[in-house]
Structure 1
Amino acid sequence: MRSILKTLFLLLLFWFLPLIGARAQSGISSALAGTVTDSSGALIPHATVTATDVSTKAVRTGQTDASGHYLLSQINPGTYQVAVTSSGFGVASSEATPVGVGRTITLNFTLSVSSASESVEVTAQQGLLSLDNPNTTTTLEAKTINSLPNPGQDLTFVAQFAQGALMNTAGSSNDAKAAGGYGNVEFNGLPATSNGYILDGYDTNDPWLGLNIGLSTNLVIGLDAVQEATVNTNSYAVDQGRYGAAQVNYFTKSGGSRFHGDVYEVWNGSLLNAQNYFLHANDSPGNIAKKPRSTVNEFGVSVSGPILPQKLFFFAHYEGIRIALPVVSQVTAPSPVYQQYVLQRLAVGGVDPITGVTLSAQPAEIPLYRSMFALYSNTGGTPVPVSTCPFDENGTLLPAPAAGTLLNGSGCANQRQASLNNKDSEDLIVLKMDQTINEKNSVWYRFQQDTGLQAAYTDPINPIFNAFSPQPQRTLVLGYTHLFTPNLVNQINPGASWYASVFEPNNFASVQQQFPIVLAAGTSNLPFTTIGGNDQTYPQGRKVTQWQVNDNLIWTLHRHTLKFGINTRRVDVSNYDLGQGTVPLVTVNDLAQFTYGAAYTATQSFPVRTRERVANGNFEFYAMDSYKPSARLTLTAGMRVTWNTNVVNDQGLFARSAGSFLDMQHSNAQPLNQAILTGIHNLFPATPLFIYQPRVSIAYQVEPHTAVHAGFGVFSDIIPAQIADLASTNAPYAPSFVGGLAGQVGGVAIFPGVPGSAVDALASANKALQTSFSTGAPPCTGIASGDAVCPLAVGLNTFPTGTLKTPLYYQYSAGVEQQVGGKGAVRVDFVGTRGLHEPYQVELNGYQNVCAGCFSPYAYSHPLDQRFGSVNEFRTDANSSYAGLQTSYTQQIAGLTLRGNYTLSHCLDEVSNGGLLSFSSQGILSPLAGELSRSYGSCDYDVRHNISAFGLYQIPFHSHQALLRQMLSGWAFSETAFFHTGLPFTILSQPYTANGNGVFQSSGPQFARRVPGVPLYQRSAVRGVTVAGTRQWINPDAFASVVDPSTGACTGGDSVANCQFGDSGRNTVRGPHFTDSDIYITKTLKLHEGVTFRFDAQMFNAFNHANFALPSNVEAGVPGSLIPARFGTLQSTISPPTGLLGVGLGGDSSPRMIAFQGRIEF
């Protein structure tokens, strides 16, 4: 019945499609509004209002209504001159007035009784006071955009200057496409992945990840092609949707009645850059780190003009980037003496002094270890202590330790700073045509192509592990506006795009032959850098086609402005993510396991296909009424209704349970092919038919220079299509197995092809599972008494029973604005948000085998369902709240333009950033099973104080002397500044490893214990903890691990009381504050009539302030016993999320960088 209703509903919608539309200022258009009065203040009805685009000479005409109000809706952004005429009155005209994208500019006119024309200069009120709605809107036009320092010339960077914006500086090193984590900017306690970036009305977010999409450089380039950028938050107008936090609208430049253009180049070289703060931290004789070479060339050309005067215009733009990437990476490698020791010990085996487990000899691994050691290009550096290392820093064998203690020698590992290089490139072409068909019809078209080769990963050990990704994109968008009458205007905005983003190393098959696994340290007990690069994540990526249609209608009816619209989108994806995990990932947890060739875990997946086709869609329609009972009061009410389709697998290769894992039958006798549904097309068991989002607001002009406003709205958020990976990777289509000492399928040896290989055990397990699944055989055949899980236990991803709950955000605000002088304003807002049904993932099949009652909430000895390994359930019942006092100030005084924002806020949640993509390198996305409330704490983006500001100053100089004018005039100075207090993170315990026991199949946070009365922070070095190349931040005596790293058992002995997760909680400590300032010094020379040359000296992080990333080692030790090296230390620096060296490519943009720009404009 529900599917029939959906079908009927869609048929009705498409039948009435011509009658459905949006508001006056949609994502691609703007509006002019105001009132017309006579000198006594009486309203003048039926006056003729004519707006002329200064550039194209296009004309829009309207009339005032009975109340003297006019509205010219859905005009293209640009600069307009407005004239008003009425019988018996003189002509009044405005000065040329910029009309920003998505904004309504208010121009009020007073007419005098006269038969002669007169000119009245009118100042646009919008931007000083928000007289029509309580939106928090920040608009930057092309001149300001090009004059402000912008590292990387990135389009998303302009959003950092909006009120309430928090720059993401969380120091993530993941594939975030942002150096600070997933999402470049965060607003109002809402996910940084919930911002919509809309270019010419078309969604430019990556529909797979939900992020701002950057291609080969991960920068969103094309800044020089943008005419305006507008950031909208707290938007209670219902035309904003799909993304719950903010909407950033950009509009591409258009051609005009005259030919214009520019040519520019930006250049930066390593000679001009400061060195990384930690570059020489690990220097030793013969191992002196060198500043890596880097160059950046960014160049472009634009030209625009008329094709047919007043009818057809063009704008064309090209830009390219060439980057020689400097990568500084900390590498910890086995020392030569330790390598020889390993080759000797592999032949005899030994006992792990931490776990007490006897590790058998692995003589067949000796040649494989030799090949692995040969991959290290450099093993020198500063010696660092490693638990159980038997050598001192000189390579001398240490005496046997005292009873109950462990060796902690410094002769097994050397740490150094590696200076590396790689190359990246990107090219962009933009072509836009604007056509005025007649006075009632106009249309524009934009085609865009972006191509490049991304240096996706630069390996610090050997370049054979470097990864690359060719990333082409093509987009075609158009906008067509039709005037039925001056008071009834429709605009349709269709578009389509395609892009590819697939990652893997060059000659991947050859790389696998040289080193067929990825070997990584599983805990802080082993400091060695991962060898094998990121090969366990390749091949992966996607090819995406997106279709979108917006249709917007506005009807001005007396004092009501009625607005209607639809916004529909379909996304088709060729998903290559099934290739992730096909390269085995092997972990070792301590030095003994590395020494004796024993895998703690070995993990591999076995997909039946490495590429699948998935699709989803969004259909939204909305209606709104803006009512103006008087010129000073605006009341707005509207409703947005959303239908998000289920995610569909075209090939029927989804597999999942019928509902929640907790609702399944947990019986070892039930075959897996009865527990897991196969051939499934729909990802979720059920999705909601409609999501209703009502919104209301009020704006009132109390005095001529004072306005108050308030609003409340409900905003939905989409769940990114990447969630499809959960059902695609279930058995039998892509089962994953875990072997090794802690795995269920057996095997011990690290490498494949040797006796007792943990990797080979994985392949054998997959063959057995496929046979068992297809025949319906009992899944636990061969399980022995005391075994925790069945021999062929597989991982499983599940979804809640019933209809999926969609993320919703309640947003509310109240504020006041005060105009300051003629060109200044101050605004103060209280902003609150409440998040409901927010996504997260939780492991439901965990267990522990330490003791009955230990490590609650985990079951003892075996999991809830022995047929499965890790069971990850996607849920949507997390919550969040935010309260902030936000202040903004703008002022223009002669040649000086200032803008500043300050926010005092607090944010609390149970999981941050939408639950799928971490905002922070230390973000926790999965709570303990059944204990979601235990993760309630400060959001990953909770900062108390946040400041952003910029200033532009055209330095005045006047002289009658031509030479002096040429030398001393035309100078300008601009600066941006950012500051926020530290971001929060969590202190954890060491994992339990004694006697091979521990907590298994879990991902929840294992909190440490807080030591009462001890200060949380310590700046002075701590012996054995603060090693060379680090700075102490967290006091190691302030936290105690539940597990003693020297024994792998619970601190104080194994018991129910001792073996419980600690009370330190989530996000209870904070990292260092962040400060950054960039400067442009500009000189403009007039070369010829209409031709100028501009030269910039650009300084990023101008004062070379070292901003430190969050500590990477957050697993505490035991004060008075053993505290792992580097715990709570600062080891790397961070920068803004965009930079000259691209984003997320490993290039170091944190020190001061100086670039020069030359630009010719005509």
Structure 2
Amino acid sequence: MRLQAKLIGPAAAVLALLLLLLLPRATAAQATTGTIEGQAKDAQGAVLPGVSMTATNVETGATFHAVTTESGLYRLTYLPLGRYDVRAELSGFRTAVTEGVRVGLNETAVVTVTLQVAAVEQEVTVLAQVPIVQTTKSEIRRTYDERALLDRPVTTQVSGFAGRSVYNFATLSPGVTTPVRFDRAFLGSGGSNVIANGTTARSSNFELDGISNVDPEDNDYRVAVSVEGVKEFEVITSNYNAEFGRAGGAQARAVSKSGSNAFHGSAYEFYFDNAAFNWPGNPLQSQRCSEAERQQNPTRCYAEFTLNMFGATAGGPITRDKIFFFGLFENNVRRGENFASGLVPLRTERTPDTGSVEGDRIISEWLTLYPQPNRTDVNIRRHETNVPFDYDTPNPFLRVDFNLTNASKLMTRYDLRNQDFKITRVFPSNGGDIVDRAHTGGVALTHTFSPTLVGEFRGGYAYRRVDLPTERGFEAMPTVVVTGLGTLGSTSTQFPIFRKLYDYQGNGSLTWTKGRHAVKAGYDLHRTFNNGIQSDNVRGLITFGNGYGRSGIENFLAGTPTQYVATIGDVERNFRYWDVAFYVQDDWRIRDNVTLNLGLRNESVTDWSEQDGKTDFGYSASLLNLAPRVGIAWDVTGDSRWVVRGAYGLSYDRVNFFFLRSLQFQPPVTRTVTVLPSSEDEPLRIETLSPSSGTVASSPLTVFDVDPAFELGKVHTWNVTVERPITRTTSVRLSYVGSATRGLPATLILNRAEPTPDATFFDRQERRPDPTIGNLQRLANASDGNYRALQVSVDRRMASGFQYQFSYTYSRARDLASDVGFGSGDMWISMTHDADLLFAQTGDNSARKADLYGPSRYDQPHVWSFNFSYELPWKDQRGLVGALANHWQVGGTAYYRDGYPINVTCGENSSDCNIDGFAQDRPNVLDASVVGRQFQDKPRNEADTQVQHILPTAFDQAIAPGARGTLPRNQFRTDDIATFDMALIRHIPVVRDQRIQLRFEVYNLFNNTFAGAPNLSLATPDDFGKIASVSGNRSIQIAAKYYW
């Protein structure tokens, strides 16, 4: 039964969440803290109940208290990250103090205490010897502490203004694949770069301080998080506890730095000069140019711009032992130009002749937007220029922590990310003033009710505003497309886009320790708003193509469009969504060396509903989605030398709004009209153009809908892991990891043309079951996938100035559809005529699997990475030698990834080779020897770009009506990627705790290149199999920091 949730405004949602925070039963925060647990025994090994255990934070003086149970067990929960002194006290025994216990994010430090009988009160202090392997949890995770985040080279040049983001580290974790370096996934529609264990680019969850950092549009992270403000970062890739959810893939979680009793801070600047700091790895790439070379041929030169990322941090006490602050300000500033080019009318093509005063006026205004050609040596119509492209991205951040009492702690945090900038393109009217601002904030209250009952209650707020307008002064101008010339007006028919996204969150948890059980229960509530204006062709799309016996340019001058497309109606939509989860988790130590992790989570979500009823997607709320989690951790020898773990869990992916974006504008509230000329003799006229002029196109309308039974996709995960320390600071882990995705979103194509013996390309519409419409594209839970992997991880904690992490993954990923956002790139539409219909009517997916099941777009069988930091050993030299040789450090990141799968696509009959009314078809194979080929040939000159590495004659496009091609999906691969980034760092002591750090960072040190993807479309046989580009080159970045 569909949930009819009452729609409430943002203010009411805030009030509701504040009330939830005040409920004493409030329970499921995503942990941003750590735990110390263990057992107290006497000298003979007997357990000691009633021992008072107190952990004191070394930096802030905050204290946390517990008492051992009848089994001698204790558990100190919700501990802020840092180092602790653990004090054990019991009458008649010497007090034992364990110093320097490190508490990491979502980690459990096991501290076993042995108390000696004493006649008088005495105290024994020992240095912590905490096991470096997890002995009580069954999840698979990788953590990066503050030192690792700051010592590794992290570029400022990542796309999306996300330079030096902590999320760049997620791609180094075992089981994570991403096809292109640290960038976001290669989806035209967004998606994240964290693709874990066979899930998708929209299957990961992102948090900062336990507050969601997810953009509901694409399920990507909302804002980048600077490494300068992060205390610790973790990526949980498999089998997380029941307290984690809202995704079937990875949990990428960062905790910000906090203040302490000591004042500390930094100031820094990273600098990159694109023209001076790049070295091409291949003659086909952009080159370093002299000024004369730049004037002669700017297209061959690196664009001239600079990036300055500068900032400062400061932290310390406001009131000693009570109130602490940490603040950060960072700005990424780009100054310079981008190269731009386009085709323009000749000097002899600048006089309109529409036959009317109004028509001449309109065309004359548009003609003035075209500059004169200035590169006639390349093309007689070509115009080239450098256009300014500057931006600033100021990011203030403030966190304040309060030790209210010994029993209560409070954290507050606010973050602003401002990414406003102006886009300037080759023609006036193409650009716009972009606004992209995000505010996030949160509070967290931790309270100890008793030594065995502790709670944490959290509230969060996130807001993002995105404006993608048309250029100022051209707000109402349509997009004008002239065959043979560059486009005027906004280059995207979707502009303007004005979007405001809100997410109000309330979550909390209670942890109760009883005997051998540590039970945690909780909830996680989100109220999300997606308000905005966005629609294709709302300003109109006017096309001047070939027609009426004239060329496109001649029609432009005559004011006679060949097509006009306009969206009519209300394009404002305001969507709402509820997301509520409850869970319970029991970590049960059934023996001293065996822990069971038992959990159950239920996730309830509503549909995306429009507040004024303008859109109804047609699917219902999903209230019962039980997610069991079970795991075991076995300390085989009882001394943390060999640990065996295993787990199974069920999680659910979210319905992010991208899946529904193309369905949000529906008749009768909104409709798109295509106007064509009534005949060749009655052309459309620019001065009278309107949706009622000419003839409304009779071409059938493509219909979009959602399966009424649409629900959350399921992700089953499991692992078997063996881990052991090989030195005091280094551990090795071997895992068998698997996942099975079931019912992930995919598109079905219904109402296809029926196959008949005499079928032709031109009678497709007549052969449809309902000839009054075109294709019916239905979003449904139609994709399944499977993943198996062997994962190896070696981690060395910092010791003797050396720290490193290594991971290797050998995997196999297969699915039916990797992501709806791939469009034709992934070939996720079944060619078999009745396969989609069979699934829509009966749920039988066998025909679709026979056609589509193959390598996932994310399938990269071999992936490895290695990152390290090393303080060079000659750091204690004296005199002149010491002045030159001391305090040097190197850091680096190396990685390798196999190429990702790609497809060959049909070209005949507009890529609809089986003439069923839908394109994206695969051909038949004539030469089986080409199947499975990887394209690794890197072109070095223009002649190389004309080489056909695979010939179109290897394929046949004559496919029977309604049948599928014999070429399976995703049978070819792009080139592999391998690179090594290095940072050379010099520390210069100033006075006491002050020092200067100088950094010289080299990216792709060995200047490796990799071939671009070939053209595999049979629609362009002359270019088929050609590789036109090469990626990868060496670049440098320099930086200076001052620490105090």
Q: Which runs of 5+ in 1 are unaligned?
A: 215-219, 348-362, 384-411, 521-525, 655-681, 770-789, 1043-1049, 1051-1055, 1135-1149
User: How far apart are 1:537 and its partner, in Å?
Assistant: 2.3
Q: Residue 809 of structure 2 aligns to which amino acid in structure 1? A: T
The structure-2 alpha-carbon separation of the partners of 1:586 and 1:557, relative to structure 1 and needing over 3 Å to count, comes to farther
User: Aligned to 2:644, which of 708, 727, 731?
Assistant: 708
Matches for 1:35-114 after TM superposition, within 5 Å:
35-114=39-118
Structure 1 residue 874 corresponds to structure 2 residue 792: no
Tell me, in whole angstroms, the C-alpha distance in 2 between the residues paired with 1:38 and 1:463: 81
Higher relative contact order (CA 8 A, sep 6+): 1
Could you list the per-position Cα deviations for residues 356-408 of structure 1 after superposition, in whole angstroms to 9, with x for gaps in the alignment? xxxxxxx999978993994575555668xxxxxxxxxxxxxxxxxxxxxxxxx
- Preserved CA contact (<8 Å) 2:140 2:238: yes
Q: Percent identity?
A: 20
SS in 2 for 1:144: helix
Matches for 1:413-432 after TM superposition, within 5 Å:
422-432=389-399
Q: Where does residue 416 of structure 2 map in the other structure?
A: 449
User: How far apart are 1:1057 and its partner, in Å?
Assistant: 4.6
Structure 1 residue 904 corresponds to structure 2 residue 865: no
Q: Where does residue 116 of structure 1 map in the other structure?
A: 122
SS in 2 for 1:306: strand
Q: Residue 1005 of structure 1 aligns to which amino acid in structure 2? A: Q
Structure 1 residue 1155 corresponds to structure 2 residue 1037: yes
Could you list the per-position Cα deviations for residues 553-606 of structure 1 after superposition, in whole angstroms to 9, with x for gaps in the alignment? 111111011110100001112122235654417597999975886999957341
Q: Where does residue 655 of structure 2 map in the other structure?
A: 719
User: How far apart are 1:313 and its partner, in Å?
Assistant: 1.0
- Preserved CA contact (<8 Å) 2:337 2:389: yes
User: Aligned to 1:209, which of 214, 218, 234?
Assistant: 218
The structure-2 alpha-carbon separation of the partners of 1:648 and 1:975, relative to structure 1 and needing over 3 Å to count, comes to same
Q: Where does residue 196 of structure 1 map in the other structure?
A: 205
User: How far apart are 1:501 and its partner, in Å?
Assistant: 0.8
Matches for 1:556-571 after TM superposition, within 5 Å:
556-571=513-528
The structure-2 alpha-carbon separation of the partners of 1:957 and 1:921, relative to structure 1 and needing over 3 Å to count, comes to farther
The structure-2 alpha-carbon separation of the partners of 1:92 and 1:1131, relative to structure 1 and needing over 3 Å to count, comes to farther
Structure 1 residue 755 corresponds to structure 2 residue 761: no
Structure 1 residue 946 corresponds to structure 2 residue 863: yes
SS in 2 for 1:156: helix
Tell me, in whole angstroms, the C-alpha distance in 2 between the residues paired with 1:1123 and 1:1004: 17
SS in 2 for 1:1088: coil
User: Aligned to 1:478, which of 443, 458, 463?
Assistant: 443
User: How far apart are 1:59 and its partner, in Å?
Assistant: 0.6
Q: TM-score, structure 2 length as denominator? A: 0.86
The structure-2 alpha-carbon separation of the partners of 1:799 and 1:1000, relative to structure 1 and needing over 3 Å to count, comes to farther
Q: Where does residue 676 of structure 1 map in the other structure?
A: none
Q: Where does residue 970 of structure 2 map in the other structure?
A: 1067
- Preserved CA contact (<8 Å) 2:294 2:301: no
SS in 2 for 1:118: strand
SS in 2 for 1:447: strand
User: How far apart are 1:496 and its partner, in Å?
Assistant: 1.0
User: Aligned to 1:495, which of 460, 471, 478?
Assistant: 460
SS in 2 for 1:18: coil
The structure-2 alpha-carbon separation of the partners of 1:59 and 1:422, relative to structure 1 and needing over 3 Å to count, comes to same
Could you list the per-position Cα deviations for residues 175-214 of structure 1 after superposition, in whole angstroms to 9, with x for gaps in the alignment? 9699xx6321211010121111110111111022211124
- Preserved CA contact (<8 Å) 1:138 1:162: yes
Tell me, in whole angstroms, the C-alpha distance in 2 between the residues paired with 1:1097 and 1:153: 15
Tell me, in whole angstroms, the C-alpha distance in 2 between the residues paired with 1:110 and 1:1114: 69
Q: Where does residue 697 of structure 1 map in the other structure?
A: 631
The structure-2 alpha-carbon separation of the partners of 1:1061 and 1:334, relative to structure 1 and needing over 3 Å to count, comes to farther
The structure-2 alpha-carbon separation of the partners of 1:253 and 1:42, relative to structure 1 and needing over 3 Å to count, comes to same
- Preserved CA contact (<8 Å) 2:231 2:256: yes
Tell me, in whole angstroms, the C-alpha distance in 1 between the residues paired with 2:246 and 2:310: 35
Could you list the per-position Cα deviations for residues 637-678 of structure 1 after superposition, in whole angstroms to 9, with x for gaps in the alignment? 111101101111112111xxxxxxxxxxxxxxxxxxxxxxxx
Could you list the per-position Cα deviations for residues 71-104 of structure 1 after superposition, in whole angstroms to 9, with x for gaps in the alignment? 1011222222222233343333333233122222
Q: TM-score, structure 1 length as denominator? A: 0.78
SS in 1 for 2:692: helix
Q: Where does residue 670 of structure 1 map in the other structure?
A: none
Coordinate RMSD, CA, aligned? 4.2
Tell me, in whole angstroms, the C-alpha distance in 1 between the residues paired with 2:695 and 2:550: 32
SS in 2 for 1:1131: coil
Matches for 1:953-1102 after TM superposition, within 5 Å:
953-959=870-876, 961-992=878-909, 1003-1015=918-930, 1030=945, 1032=947, 1034-1037=949-952, 1039-1040=954-955, 1042=957, 1057=960, 1062-1102=965-1005
Tell me, in whole angstroms, the C-alpha distance in 1 between the residues paired with 2:735 and 2:862: 15
User: Aligned to 1:1131, which of 1014, 1028, 1037?
Assistant: 1028
Structure 1 residue 728 corresponds to structure 2 residue 664: yes
The structure-2 alpha-carbon separation of the partners of 1:1060 and 1:595, relative to structure 1 and needing over 3 Å to count, comes to farther
Tell me, in whole angstroms, the C-alpha distance in 2 between the residues paired with 1:935 and 1:372: 51
- Preserved CA contact (<8 Å) 1:129 1:819: yes
Q: Where does residue 248 of structure 1 map in the other structure?
A: 252
- Preserved CA contact (<8 Å) 1:895 1:954: yes
User: How far apart are 1:725 and its partner, in Å?
Assistant: 3.1
User: Aligned to 2:328, which of 284, 297, 317?
Assistant: 317
Q: Residue 1025 of structure 2 aligns to which amino acid in structure 1? A: G
User: Aligned to 1:764, which of 671, 685, 692?
Assistant: 692
SS in 2 for 1:45: coil
Q: Where does residue 837 of structure 1 map in the other structure?
A: 743
The structure-2 alpha-carbon separation of the partners of 1:535 and 1:805, relative to structure 1 and needing over 3 Å to count, comes to closer
- Preserved CA contact (<8 Å) 1:605 1:734: no
- Preserved CA contact (<8 Å) 2:52 2:68: yes
Q: Where does residue 1139 of structure 1 map in the other structure?
A: none
Q: Where does residue 439 of structure 1 map in the other structure?
A: 406
Tell me, in whole angstroms, the C-alpha distance in 1 between the residues paired with 2:22 and 2:413: 28
The structure-2 alpha-carbon separation of the partners of 1:999 and 1:651, relative to structure 1 and needing over 3 Å to count, comes to farther
User: How far apart are 1:880 and its partner, in Å?
Assistant: 0.9
User: How far apart are 1:170 and its partner, in Å?
Assistant: 8.7
- Preserved CA contact (<8 Å) 1:284 1:382: no
Q: Residue 830 of structure 1 aligns to which amino acid in structure 2? A: Y
User: How far apart are 1:519 and its partner, in Å?
Assistant: 5.4
SS in 1 for 2:169: helix
Tell me, in whole angstroms, the C-alpha distance in 2 between the residues paired with 1:1027 and 1:368: 39
Could you list the per-position Cα deviations for residues 214-273 of structure 1 after superposition, in whole angstroms to 9, with x for gaps in the alignment? 4xxxxx143211111111121341011011101111111111111111111111113122
Tell me, in whole angstroms, the C-alpha distance in 2 between the residues paired with 1:500 and 1:366: 34
Q: Where does residue 618 of structure 2 map in the other structure?
A: 684
Q: Where does residue 638 of structure 1 map in the other structure?
A: 599
The structure-2 alpha-carbon separation of the partners of 1:332 and 1:101, relative to structure 1 and needing over 3 Å to count, comes to same
- Preserved CA contact (<8 Å) 2:877 2:885: no
Tell me, in whole angstroms, the C-alpha distance in 1 between the residues paired with 2:402 and 2:257: 14
- Preserved CA contact (<8 Å) 1:604 1:737: yes
Q: Where does residue 495 of structure 2 map in the other structure?
A: 538
Tell me, in whole angstroms, the C-alpha distance in 1 between the residues paired with 2:803 and 2:184: 36
- Preserved CA contact (<8 Å) 2:949 2:1026: yes
User: How far apart are 1:1154 and its partner, in Å?
Assistant: 1.2
The structure-2 alpha-carbon separation of the partners of 1:736 and 1:840, relative to structure 1 and needing over 3 Å to count, comes to farther
User: Aligned to 1:805, which of 695, 711, 714?
Assistant: 711
SS in 1 for 2:420: strand
- Preserved CA contact (<8 Å) 1:190 1:245: yes
Tell me, in whole angstroms, the C-alpha distance in 1 between the residues paired with 2:766 and 2:133: 66
User: How far apart are 1:624 and its partner, in Å?
Assistant: 1.6
SS in 2 for 1:966: helix
Q: Where does residue 1016 of structure 2 map in the other structure?
A: 1114
User: Aligned to 1:153, which of 145, 152, 164?
Assistant: 164
Q: Where does residue 923 of structure 1 map in the other structure?
A: 826
SS in 2 for 1:982: coil
Q: Which runs of 5+ in 2 are unaligned?
A: 8-15, 156-162, 836-847
User: How far apart are 1:529 and its partner, in Å?
Assistant: 7.4
User: How far apart are 1:276 and its partner, in Å?
Assistant: 7.5
